[in-house]
Amino acid sequence: MTPYAANLATPLQSQSLQNDQLPVSANTRRSICRVCHGGCGVIVYSDGRRVLKVRGDVQSPVSRGWMCIKGLKSPDIANHPDRLKTPLKRKGQRGQGHWYAISWQEALDEIAQRIEDLRERHGAESIVIGQGTGRHHYMHTVRFANALGTPNWYEPGLAQCFIPRITVSHLTYGGFPVADYYGQTAPACIMFWGHNPLVSSADAELAPAVRRALNSGCMSIAIDPRRSETARRCKKWLPIRPGTDAALALAMLNVIISRELYDAEFVRDHTVGFDKLKDHTARFTPQWASAITRVSAQDIEEAACLYSRLKPAVLEWGLGLEQNSNSLQTVRAVALLRAITGNLDVPGADILGMNVLRSYPLLKDKLPPEQAKKRIGAGEFKLLGGWRAYMPSAHIPGIFNAMNDGGPYRLRGLIVFGSNPLLTVANPKRVFEGLRKLDLLVVTDLFMTPTAQQADYVLPAAFWTEIDHLMGVPLVAENFVFAQSAIVSTPDCRQDEWIIDELSRRLHLPGSELTFRDIFDYQLAPLGIDFAKAVEMTYLCPPHRYCKYVDKGFRTPSRKVELYSASLKRMGYEPLPMYEEPPEGPQTSPELIDDYPLVLITGGRTVEFFHSEHRQVEALRRLRPRPQAQIHTSLAEARGIRHGEEVIISTKRGQIVVTAEVTEDIAPYVVSVEHGWWFPERLSELPHDPDSLWLANANVLTDDGPPYDPAFGSYRLRALLCNVERREGFALPQTLPQGDSSP
């Protein structure tokens, strides 16, 4: 082994090339950008050794030449001098930042042996598999957990992002709906609910497709506490009180049903439980909801009428619906709006997926039933970890409680692929304590991160230009297939799936005879091609079939849309959606109002970064050098806060320092804080100054404690009480390191 001298305070640097700097010999390849969980088509310029430039591919059926700024700066990331380039093994105490460089064979042999030791001594359930949101290796990581025999895997979203929408859609419609922005019929109305796709481009439902739909002149409605980038493009904005979305949806159902604006033929022929829903919603009037949501009864009525009358209509929903303790019922209430208006699987509306790829072989059958019962949270949160869960996973607060307190048993190992839980999980100080108690922590990533700094082994991951990848898009629906192969390679950086395959082989796990490339061929077999052919084609776009339910019905027990869910009732949950007041709010926590009179939301994304990633990149950091909090002009005036000044945001759990973005584009009583913020240029300070990690970390403010959503275990990242005060002096870094932008 050789000593490794990592400069963790290297200046931020840019390594991209301008058009006129491209060598004549530059190669070009068509590919798919995976700098986030989007999937924009790209043309990659390389010299065979490194990426020189990327630009949008006009032939992409989805992005059509568009790319966001972080995608365009992919060369800056791929060629960044601070990228991890060799496997590292900890030297000395955990978290002190001292490492030795070791070979891949040494690293994989040692990690596999330590995993096997934990399995033999404490059971496979003592090992947790973690990963980041929307990664190319997502399914392969779940497969690894099942093969290993551990029921405990997680990613930071799950109950807080996407899983409630997927699960509710399958329970209600038998499939997952996505907006039809690609056919011959344009939507007449789009309602964006807790969703900002012009920035997030989530799950290959990309910003340019949304922009094209908005440019068509359709009616557009945004339901959001803040007027986001998407909401600014909308003709109507409903600034809802955070955490009260279920009340608004119930009132809209009331309006549509009581005024007979629903699709009577669709409801009669293709739904069950309408009469029960009609009786149930009769009491949820716009006036009732207005007092709760702070949206006027007139606006509620108008939005309901527009959405139900203008056909076809799209309902774009986002994670703003899920980050609360009434996640199931909130998503259910919104989901029923599509159903009673008949905006399901018809041109220009929300369409059910074609699912053109074979399902990824997750090896669920290799996880013994007795192991599945040991999953953290499985018994309590049936739709997250139980047998009816869409993708059974562990409860995140329960995971870190088990690391710290040992209940129901102690978790002793964590293998993380592309995630940074110290920045992306609520109550990060508790996470920090848990990581330090582990017997084994392995992190695979592009860069050294605060989480990686606590590891026993750090493995250098391949960037998206260095991987083989197959994806069905939009996620879960899989109407298109995108494929790419590695274009360049960075010495000693490896694709996450390759790492998993190598560990699986050493551990003699079930399915280890197949590589991830073999699985790609398996998924593509129904299309009559293999991965090599898919890469040659890049984009596969089978014709879409609408109204699939006419011939075969919906994939539910009744073969119809289940407005009243007998399945939920059998599991002990309300079969019709209900509203519950947020557990921390003006009505439920009056004792906090004097100290915390405002309402906090977190998690708003910015186009420059993907969650906690890319803050090393000078070209991106200069666009957004410091974390911000949006506050309303009237609130700023009352507190003597000017735009760009530092402020302290506090909840009963802690406080952070950010800069104020003073704007009219937010409800006057709401504060919106960016998440994922840390300062890579200060990482070398962390071993002797851990408080620097909490300086602007939004999750210091959030809550991982009960009450949780009873079905999904969702915890609260929004609708929390907070305060904002002007800060004197400076706490945030005031200057950025100067980087060399030359190639």
Which domains occur in the chain, in start order?
17-72 (3.30.200.210), 88-159+363-466+487-511 (3.40.50.740), 177-351 (3.40.228.10), 590-726 (2.40.40.20)
b/e per residue 415-454 (b: at least 16 CB within 10 A) = bbbbbbbbbbbbbbbbbbebbeebbbbbbbbbbbbbbbbb
Closest alpha carbon to 689 in 99, 97, 88:
97
Question: Nearest Cα to 147, choosing from 438, 415, 419?
Answer: 415
Tokens 């596969």 identify what position? 540
Helix (H, G, I), strand (E, B) or coil at 671: strand
415, 450 Cβ separation under 8 angstroms: no
| pLDDT value, residue 736 | 64
What Rg value do the Cα atoms of the chain yield, rounded?
Answer: 25
Give the phi and the psi of residue 349 in degrees, each rounded to 5.
-115, -150
**Collapsing DSSP states into helix, strand and coil, what is residue 518?**
helix
Distance CA(74)–CA(602), nearest Å, equals: 27
316 SS3 class: strand
pLDDT at site 23: 56
**Are the C-beta atoms of 448 and 458 separated by less than 8 Å?**
yes
Given this model, what pLDDT does residue 56 score?
96
Which residues, given as ranges, of the chain have pLDDT below 70? 1-26, 734-743
Q: Is the entire prediction scored with pTM above 0.85?
A: yes
Residue of 739, 726, 598, 612 lying closest to 225 (CA atoms): 598
The reported pLDDT for the residue numbered 692 is: 84
Cis omega (within 30 of 0) on the bond before 737?
A: no
User: What's CA 304's distance to the chain center, in Å?
Assistant: 28
Task: List CB contacts of 527: < 8 A, sequence separation 6 or more.
Answer: 356, 357, 481, 540, 542
